[in-house]
Amino acid sequence: MRRIKQPGPPAAERIVFAESHGLRFEMTLQAGLPLLEAVRRSFAAAGFTSGVARIDGLTLGPFAYVMPALSQTPEHAAFYSETFRPPGIARIEAGALTFGLRDGVPFFHCHALWSEATGRRRGGHILPEEAIVAEEITVPAVGLDGAVFVAEPDPETNFKLFGPAHVPPLGTTRDGRFHALRVRPNVDLASALEQFCAERGIRRATIHGGVGSTIGARFVDGGRVENFATEVAITDGLIADDGEGVQALIDVALVDFTGAMASGRLTRGDNPVLMTFELVLEVG
C-alpha cells in the first residue's frame, strides 16, 4: 500500500475516537455572514458546540481558499498553496465541513469542489476567516453531545489538526449513538472504519461529514489519482454487513496539488490517509 513518510514519530493509536450522543438537524446558514459565524450560530441554535455538515449548494462570495501543494521543507510531508481569492460568487458542488474548537474559539475544517462565477471549476480548502455566505441555505448537519472536535498540535505531521475529545454531556437528552473519529496517516480509510466497526459489533453505520486527505486515490471504476497530495470530502458513506462482513462504501470528491479534480467510490484497502481524516459515524 502507498505510504508517505511523515516528519514526526507515528502515534501508537491509528484511530482516535470519542463516543457520544448526537442529533441530525437542518442547519440554516444566513446570507451576509462570515461562513464561520453562520456555522457557529446554527450549531449554537441547535444546542451544540461541535459537529459536521455537508455543504452542497452553498454559495460563497467573497471567499478564499488554498489547495494542496508540495512542501518546500522537510518540516511537512505536504503543504498548502498560495491563497486564492476568486471574484464573484462561487457555488459549492460537493463539500464537507467539521466544526469545533481551535485555540479555544470556534473553527472549521472544510474541503469542497465548486464552480466559480467565470464557470471555472476548482477545489480546495476553504479558509474560515475569509468566506462570506452569499445566499441563505439549509444543509444537513450532525451535532455532537459528549464529544467535540479540537484542533491540537500533531507531532507526527507537524500540523495542528482536528481530533475528537470527550467532554461532559450538554445536559439535553439526544437520541442516537455516534462516534467522532480521526484516522491517522498511512492507514487505509475504508479498512480502518471496517475494523473499528467490527471490533465493536457495529453492523451498520452512516458516515456524516468527512474531511481529510489521501495518498492519491483509487476508485472502484478503475479511475486513479497518482499525485499523492490531495484534499478530500466525503460525499456519501455507509458501513454495512450484508452477510459478507463489514464493508465501507465511501464516495468522495477531491482535488490534487495540480488542481485536477476527481470523484467516485474509493476502492477498499487501497486508499491510505495522507495527513488526517475526520468524520462522524452514526450507528444503526
CATH number of residue 45's parent domain: 3.30.1330.80
**Short-list 5, 162, 18, CA closest to 99:** 162
Residue 8 domain-assigned (yes or no): no
At 173 the pLDDT is: 58
Q: What is the pLDDT along the chain (284 residues), one digit of tens a residue?
A: 899 999 999 999 999 999 999 999 999 999 999 999 999 999 999 999 999 999 999 999 999 999 999 999 999 999 999 999 999 999 999 999 999 999 999 999 999 999 999 999 999 999 998 999 999 999 999 999 999 999 999 999 999 999 999 999 887 657 789 999 999 999 999 999 999 999 999 999 999 999 999 999 999 999 999 999 999 999 999 999 988 889 999 999 999 999 999 999 999 999 999 999 999 999 99
Q: Which three cell numbers, joined as nine digits, stand for 149? A: 472536535
Give strand pairing partners of 106: 101
Is the same domain home to 138 and 40? yes
Same domain, 25 and 140: yes
DSSP 56: T
Q: Are residues 269 and 201 in the same domain?
A: yes
CB-based contact 190:269 (threshold 8 Å): yes
The candidate with the shortest Cα–Cα distance to 35, out of 125, 119, 120, 121, is: 125
**Is there a domain that residue 7 lies in?**
no
Please give the pLDDT value at position 176.
85
- Among residues 121, 144, 167, the one where a domain terminates is 144
Please report the pLDDT score of residue 121 as a whole number: 97
154 forms bridges with which residues in the sheet?
A: 159
SS3 annotation, the chain: CCCCCCCCCCCCCCEEEEEEEEEEEEEEECCCCEHHHHHHHHHHHCCCCCEEEECCCCEECCCCEECEECCCCCCCCCEECCCECCCCCEEEEEEEEEEEEECCEEEEEEEEEEECCCCCEEEEEECHHHCEECCCEEEEEEEEECEEEEEEEECCCCEEEEEEEECCCCCCCCCCCEEEEEECCCCEHHHHHHHHHHHCCCCEEEEEEEEEEEEEEEECCCCEEEEEEEEEEEEEEEEEECCCCEEEEEEEEEEECCCCEEEEEECCCCCEEEEEEEEEEEEC
For residue 115, give the C-alpha cell. Answer: 464552480
Q: Are residues 40 and 136 in the same domain?
A: yes
Q: How far from 249 is each of 6, 15, 164, 206, 283, CA to CA, in Å? A: 27, 18, 23, 10, 15
As a whole number of angstroms, the distance between CA 213 and CA 205 comes to 21
Residue where one domain finishes, among candidates 102, 129, 144: 144
Domain contains 189: yes
What is the tally of structural domains in the chain?
2
The answer for residues whose C-beta is within 8 angstroms of residue 234's C-beta and 6 or more apart is 96, 207, 209, 210, 211, 250, 251, 252, 279
Which range marks the domain in which residue 217 is found? Answer: 177-283
